[in-house]
């Protein structure tokens, strides 16, 4: 009996061992997918250490970006490169940071590595889609200098991007700069915006090497043989300093330059993510990578945050309208008639505040704004108000204004003229974000930074300017067709489309102006036209009545930066289409890649005597043909067709 038991025991033991090994192998595939790559890369002839990090989806590995971090055995310097399908995305580029206490860019030695899977799900209040899923591999590499100064380089990789950041322990002193840079092939196509403190520079096309010497916005788009890559930043707070790109003509190198010569730190530090949104153009355009990298929402109850379309009165009536209660009531009446949920009172009303004695406890009674808010509320319209940053600059000013606006019933604030990404201004952002969340005020930042993940962490931020928008008289049609692939990729953009009255002051046609309301995403989509300009264009006006400001999905149907951009955005069971073009008149041919089945498609285009609406029934995957005038465009809406259906409008 004993001998029989001994003969039988190895089989279940072997099975258990096999199961255990299989389980361990599966775990290693999830938590440490790149260990094997390290040895393979080292044996391929690279001196020193090489680590490879890619996304968790092995089935799609050939199409996903892969980061390689190399430590040079001689100099102790780090570099990072990115490939996609073994093709170049980013060439080996320097990685490092310098503090008061240590130069963490050279003479480094490797300590250890840690891997984990980042898997999250969250729901946004605005953006390209509301439901978000995050799936990334994270690798943390720890290094030390000869003096035992230490830091971690944290790399994340997903299906649509690669990012890295530095994590430093306490006691490192102030940050004096980064050696971080991005090396692009010199002949890579580049779409760059000259840096401005208000982020309102136009985007122009160069090659990586021919771009003039200067500083550029850190939202820069490049095309290499590995596809498209948008450089970006995420999780920027007052703990650090904003970044821009410094370039010298003749090279493909774009260095990270901070807004501050010295970044003051206290305790441990995690720098912002240096992000590379990577893939084909459709992947980059619909990516939420910079939001996905950012911390989770700090607003526990977000039920009061409601995106919507807005009648914006600045380009419609100017400061004079802002100084007149009668004029503002008329705008509210128009918004109510159109069922637009908000009206924005811009500069004008607020300049009268210079005469108010805010030390008087009854100072708020001097304003007619509470009366306007009550009037609008009775008609189902919420009020957004403009306010200058200088009057929210101190804790005392914020303690005066924010509770007052909440008590009056104001729904949101448009805060203007920050014009800086230096650390003190970023610390102000931290304070105003906490304050507006506490007082249930949605936010539109103008003269501002760009989103950089802020809308995930603080979902009351519905939109930011940071763009050469409708107010500009120097915009080009090429600039308008580049924005969906650059600025608007990383978050809501308050371009304020719909300025139909600005004929001769804008570079596009009326149909293109309608199309911008879909092509450009904004949680508060502010329409810049006058009531008269809408009423003389009833097709445009009625289309604007249909537009939501929150989307369930976004797809790029056709596009090439600087030439054309056609986006489809879904709300419920309807897809809205927005197309903008630069250049000569043409018949645009756009694939209807919004799903199988039959669709009723209603489009608005430019005709010889004004806007024209066309209706046709198409199958998913068919091509929409639309006549487009020079520097023109179109707008449209598509819904599931069934016999008897004559319109998608509701």
The burial of 214, by beta-carbon neighbours within 10 Å (0-12 exposed, 13-18 middle, 19 or more buried), is given as middle
Q: Which residues contact 304 (CB under 8 A, 6 or more apart)?
A: 440
**Is residue 41 among the annotated active site residues?**
no
How far apart CA 414 and CA 347 sit, in angstroms, is 10
**Is residue 416 among the annotated active site residues?**
yes
On whether the CB atoms of residues 232 and 219 are closer than 8 A, the answer is: yes
**Catalytic annotation, pick one of 233, 416, 444, 602:** 416
On whether the CB atoms of residues 80 and 95 are closer than 8 A, the answer is: yes
Q: Which residues contact 255 (CB under 8 A, 6 or more apart)?
A: 180, 181, 245, 246, 247
Task: Bin 183: left if φ > 0, else alpha if -120 < ψ < 50, else beta.
Answer: beta
DSSP bridge pairs for 275: 163, 232
How far apart CA 169 and CA 506 sit, in angstroms, is 51
Q: In a 3-state reduction of DSSP, which class is residue 641?
A: coil
**Catalytic annotation, pick one of 152, 346, 471, 494:** 471
Please report the beta strands in 6-149, taking only residues with DSSP state E, as ranges in sequence order.
49-54, 65-71, 78-84, 87-95, 97-99, 103-104, 109-123, 131-144
Long-range contacts of 639-644 (CB under 8 A, 24+ apart): 639/573, 639/574, 639/575, 639/599, 639/600, 640/573, 640/597, 640/598, 640/599, 640/600, 641/597, 641/598, 641/599, 641/600, 641/617
Q: How far is CA 159 from CA 52, 134, 336, in A?
A: 15, 10, 44
Which residues are part of the catalytic machinery? 416, 471
């Amino acid at each position: 009996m004993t001998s029989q038991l001994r003969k039988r025991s190895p089989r279940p033991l072997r099975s258990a061992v096999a199961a255990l090994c299989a389980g361990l192998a599966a775990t290693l595939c999830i938590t440490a997918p790149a260990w094997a790559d390290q040895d393979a890369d080292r044996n391929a002839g690279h001196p020193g250490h090489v680590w490879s990090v890619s996304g968790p989806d092995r089935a799609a590995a050939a199409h996903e970006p892969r980061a390689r971090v190399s430590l040079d055995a001689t100099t102790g310097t780090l570099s990072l490169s990115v490939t996609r399908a073994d093709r170049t995305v980013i060439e080996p580029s320097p990685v490092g940071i310098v503090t008061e206490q240590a130069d963490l860019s050279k003479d480094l030695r490797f300590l250890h590595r840690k891997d984990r899977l980042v898997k999250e799900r969250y729901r946004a209040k605005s953006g390209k889609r509301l439901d978000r899923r995050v799936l990334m591999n994270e690798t943390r590499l720890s290094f030390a200098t000869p003096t035992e100064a230490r830091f971690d380089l944290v790399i994340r990789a997903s299906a649509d991007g690669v990012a890295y950041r530095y994590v430093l322990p306490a006691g490192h002193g102030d940050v004096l700069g980064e050696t971080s840079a991005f090396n692009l092939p010199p002949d890579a196509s580049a779409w760059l915006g000259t840096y401005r403190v208000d982020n309102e520079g136009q985007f122009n096309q160069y090659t990586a090497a021919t771009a003039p010497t200067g500083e550029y916005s850190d939202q820069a788009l490049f095309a290499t043989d590995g596809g498209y890559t948008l450089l970006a930043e995420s999780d920027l707070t007052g703990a650090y300093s904003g970044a821009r790109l410094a370039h010298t003509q003749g090279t493909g190198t774009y260095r990270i330059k901070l807004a501050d010569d010295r970044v003051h730190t206290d305790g441990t530090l995690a720098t912002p993510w240096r992000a590379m949104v990577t893939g084909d153009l459709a992947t980059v355009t619909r990516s939420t990578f910079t939001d996905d990298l950012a911390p989770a929402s700090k607003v526990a109850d977000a039920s009061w945050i409601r995106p919507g379309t807005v009648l914006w009165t600045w380009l419609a009536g100017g400061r004079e309208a802002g100084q007149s209660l009668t004029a503002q009531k008329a705008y509210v009446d128009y918004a109510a008639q159109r069922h637009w949920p908000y009206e924005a009172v811009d500069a004008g009303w607020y300049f009268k505040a210079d005469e108010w004695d805010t030390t008087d406890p009854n100072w708020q009674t001097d304003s007619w704004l509470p009366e306007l808010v009550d009037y609008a509320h009775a008609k189902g319209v919420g009020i957004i108000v403009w306010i200058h940053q200088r009057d929210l600059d101190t804790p005392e000013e914020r303690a005066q204004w924010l509770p007052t606006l909440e008590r009056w019933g104001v729904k949101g604030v448009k805060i203007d003229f920050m014009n800086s990404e230096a650390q003190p201004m970023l610390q102000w952002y931290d304070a105003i974000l906490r304050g507006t969340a506490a007082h249930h005020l949605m936010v539109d930042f103008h003269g501002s930074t760009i989103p950089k993940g802020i809308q995930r962490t603080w979902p009351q931020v519905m939109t930011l300017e940071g763009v050469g928008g409708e107010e500009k008289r120097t915009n080009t049609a090429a600039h308008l067709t580049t924005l969906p692939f650059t600025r608007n990729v990383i978050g809501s953009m308050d371009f304020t489309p719909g300025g139909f009255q600005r004929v001769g002051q804008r570079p596009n046609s009326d149909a293109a102006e309608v199309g911008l309301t879909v092509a450009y995403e904004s949680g508060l989509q502010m329409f810049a036209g006058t009531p008269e300009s809408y009423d003389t264009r009833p097709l445009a006006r009625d289309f604007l009545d249909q537009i939501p400001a929150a989307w369930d999905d976004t797809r790029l149907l056709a596009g090439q930066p600087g030439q054309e951009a056609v986006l489809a955005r879904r709300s419920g069971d309807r897809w809205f289409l927005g197309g903008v073009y630069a250049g000569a008149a043409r018949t645009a041919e756009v694939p209807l890649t919004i799903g199988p089945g039959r669709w009723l498609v209603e489009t608005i285009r430019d005709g010889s005597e004004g806007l024209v609406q066309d209706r046709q029934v198409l199958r998913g995957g068919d091509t929409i043909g639309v006549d487009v005038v020079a520097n023109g465009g179109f707008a449209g809406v598509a819904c599931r067709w069934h016999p008897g259906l004559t319109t998608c409008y509701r």
